[in-house]
Amino acid sequence: MIATGTNPETKLVEIIELPKHKWFTGVQFHPEYKSTVLNPHPLFIAFVKAAADGKNS
């Protein structure tokens, strides 16, 4: 597990990843609040892309 995102003000870990996993990300923030149907947060785009790539391989 690696900490890939920290809050610059509090220095707390906000994002973790498991590098050996096909797609695993844990976040301590709320990307759904920054998303709309026409403008999804990049985290959701990456998840859907990974799922599609996994299905196609």
What's the confidence (pLDDT) of residue 18? 95
What's the confidence (pLDDT) of residue 54? 82
Give the count of domains, the chain: 1
Residue matched to tokens 């610059």: 8
Asked if residue 17 lies in contact with residue 23, where contact means CB atoms within 8 angstroms, the answer is no
Kindly report the pTM of this predicted structure.
0.71
What's the confidence (pLDDT) of residue 27? 93
- Of 32, 30, 4, the closest CA to residue 17 belongs to 4
pLDDT in tens, 1-57: 999 999 999 999 999 999 998 889 999 989 989 899 999 999 999 999 999 988 777
What's the confidence (pLDDT) of residue 12? 95
CA atoms within 13 A on the CB side of 36: 2
Task: Print the domain residue range for 49.
Answer: 2-56
What's the confidence (pLDDT) of residue 39? 95
The alpha carbon of 1 is separated from its chain's Cα centroid by a whole number of angstroms, namely 14
